[in-house]
Structure 1
Amino acid sequence: MARPMGSVRLKKANPVTLAIGAALCLFILYFLLGPATSDFSASRKATAASHPLSPPTSPFRKSTGGKLAAPPVAHYNLNNVTTTPTPLENSENVLLLTPMARFYPEYWDNIMRLDYPHELITLGFILPKTREGNDAMRELQKRIAKTQQQGPEKDRFKSIIILREDIDPPLVSQDEKERHKMKNQKVRRSAMAKARNSLLFSTLGPSTSWVLWLDADVVETPPTIIQDLAQHDQGVLAPNCYQRFWNEETKAMDERPYDFNNWQDSPIALELAQKMSPDDILVEGYSEMATYRTLMAYMAQEDGRLHEEMPLDGVGGAALLVKADVHRDGAMFPAFAFYNLIETEGFAKMSKRLGWQPFGLPNYKVYHYNE
């Protein structure tokens, strides 16, 4: 018998399909009508709320009786933050800061060997938004994951902070020869100063006692460098940065000075500065601009005392231990000509004018990577 025109036969629905559809409807209703805040884990709430650099935001506030509790108020008494010649005995917190354009495995291996308690060390990094910076970021994250998540408890650092620069790098290449061309120094070091300041101001916490600046290409230091430098009780202290290399003449490994930014001023350098425009800078280590300063790089002695000090007017940033109070007093890295100095050398000048005389240790060496 023929069906009437226009009638439609309905296919019986599959029970499984109906069940899935009903579950989906319930999920959508819960999503639209449920609580606005996410169900964060208790551990995540505790971490966010306790970290001094990450105050709790709305999702992390605890509710009492259906009402959101007021955000907590943290109190810090800086008079209780000690900075002593015996930081280990006083459990003083150290902030280790590294601007990083390239990742050197030897750098990471070296900081892993530091015998200062890692639970008292916070690491801070800033990396440029370049292809090399992206590569360095990936390698850095691999080491961090291995150390912080998989490594033994004693190797894990108190916390690790990573920043990405929000400015374009002035130099495309980070090759050593390109970096050290005299014509590139002002723009290069201005960018480095901005990176250092961003890293410093974003990471310096109220419980920090010491700041250890360590460049990413410094691959060898004594494991006791923090204790060794802190025992001098100086506001700004620089070890001598050298470089190991293969000497073709002697057919043996040798070493040579590397960082020439640790220096004592000279009358000739001061006279050169007086003749310069306020926007010009003096740079060290170039024959085109002979300053005749006393360079700590050449002051090391074979039989010299390891902890012998010398006052400095300029410092480099390869390795530098700074009391946190020096930075809190306002000493930063000028990205502009400051008394014709810039970046770390300008920092030394600023520290000195704030009453913190920089010093160096000519016989205490750290070593730079040899490209």
Structure 2
Amino acid sequence: MAVSRSLRRNHLITYLLAGTLCLFFLYFFLGDTSRIPSLPYTAPRQLLKSKDAASNELSPASLPFKKSKQLQEGEVAAPPPVVHYLMNNVTTTSDPIGNRESVLILTPLARFYEEWWTNLCAMTYPHELISLGFIIPKGKEGNLATQQLQEKIQKTQAPTNKNRFASITILRQDSEPPVAQTEPERHALAAQKERRAAMSRARNSLLFTTIGPTTSWVLWLDSDIIETPPTLIQDLASHDKAIIVPNCFQRYYNKDKLAMDVRPYDFNSWQDSPTAKGLGEKMGPDEILLEGYAEMATYRSLMAYMGDGNGDARREIDLDGVGGTALLVKAEVHRDGAMFPPFPFYHLIETEGFAKMAGRLGWRATGLPNYYVYHYNE
């Protein structure tokens, strides 16, 4: 039986409508939704740069946020926008400046040193790509450090200063340091487990609060590292390593030579040894291995003693443990789950435990025995 012309026309219209709907759904799920005017959220962006301002206080802390005007009585605040982040576009390369890669510098701050702040501000990495994060303990010393830091920030972040940082976040802990803060007491063997567990919790709180979707690199820089090359960030990043740490020394007056001299300071960057592994096998689950103490001879190879003085600053070595005085980490390592264990992790804790945890996730640590940063001498 022949099909009527009107029925054939209806079939054709149905096919056209079905095809149009298919194209619309394909465009909706795969296309650029920023061109659809009815969507109530902000359009996806390829990559937010750290110089871009956050539009809401709930936005990532690594982006600068300008407080909005106070709400009038009965006025309701607008909800935070929905933003799409294409994380595959966040690069970590050997040319971080050329690729405009954002750096998050994180510092646990128990005491403020003028030399440390001067050194930090002298870094030549573009400050508009740097976000700063601090965590400060409770107590008189913490209050003083906070006051001194804020005084510097007011000057550095003044609108007239074209070299200001992208954003600055200050966290205050709800507890005081577990041990006294003089250098001998801080480094006593008996205080290490409690002290470093507290440091781990502080580092993790600071990291998880401040890392944002645009962060490419995280530089852990202790508040008593008062001297580094001004090109520290780009120098370390140029090696394109997941985790990389320079050699930390200390300048002091050598009474035997009657002149200024240098000596190793950070002994937490090391290559493991059979002796240390053997000690760990005999330990209970809550015991930790510590480096740099005569009471616990591990016979590990310490990077502190691997420097050649004036040797090649780009010389690399593999490490099993790292110190945190100056430590550059690709942000994807932290996003992968590597944090600072406040508990014994394979008998390691804090930064050394971090290196072990990162290793279990497939990330390797690298040391630069001939590239130096310097610790304050109390």
TM-score range, shorter chain: 0.7 to 0.9
Deviations 1:175-215 (A, max 9, x none): 10000000000000000000000000000000000000000
Shift >4 Å, 4+ stretches: 59-63, 66-70
Question: Could you tell me the percent identity over the aligned residues?
Answer: 61
Deviations 1:284-304 (A, max 9, x none): 000000000000000000242
Q: 1:150 to 1:289 in 2, by over 3 A?
A: same
CA distance in structure 2 between the partners assigned to 1:47 and 1:77 by the alignment: 17
Deviations 1:137-179 (A, max 9, x none): 000000000110165212x0000000001234211x2110000
TM-fit CA distance, 1:70:
5.1
Aligned length: 320
Match for residue 242 of structure 1 among 249, 253, 278:
249
Give the aligned partner of residue 126 of structure 2.
117
Q: 1:249 to 1:70 in 2, by over 3 A?
A: closer
Give the aligned partner of residue 259 of structure 1.
266
Q: Give the AA of the match of 1:322.
A: V
CA distance in structure 2 between the partners assigned to 1:53 and 1:226 by the alignment: 22
Match for residue 166 of structure 1 among 167, 174, 196:
174
Work out whether 1:281 is the aligned partner of 2:288: yes
Q: Give the AA of the match of 1:170.
A: P
Match for residue 146 of structure 1 among 138, 145, 155:
155
Work out whether 1:93 is the aligned partner of 2:98: no
Q: 1:170 to 1:291 in 2, by over 3 A?
A: same
TM-fit CA distance, 1:69:
5.7
Q: Give the AA of the match of 1:164.
A: R
Give the aligned partner of residue 77 of structure 1.
86
Cα-Cα RMSD: 2.1
Instruction: Indicate the structure (1 or 2) with the bigger Cα radius of gyration.
Output: 1
TM-fit CA distance, 1:48:
4.5
* 8 A Cα contact 1:61 1:70, kept in partner: no
* 8 A Cα contact 1:196 1:333, kept in partner: yes
Work out whether 1:343 is the aligned partner of 2:330: no
Give the aligned partner of residue 193 of structure 1.
200
* 8 A Cα contact 1:49 1:60, kept in partner: no
Q: 1:71 to 1:366 in 2, by over 3 A?
A: closer
* 8 A Cα contact 1:61 1:68, kept in partner: no
SS in 2 for 1:364: strand
CA distance in structure 2 between the partners assigned to 1:61 and 1:174 by the alignment: 41
Structure 1 segments unaligned to the other structure (5+ residues): 1-45
Match for residue 106 of structure 1 among 112, 115, 121:
115
Give the aligned partner of residue 227 of structure 2.
220
Deviations 1:270-314 (A, max 9, x none): 000000001100000000000000000000002421010000000
Deviations 1:41-75 (A, max 9, x none): xxxxx75538732699xx87999xx9976542111
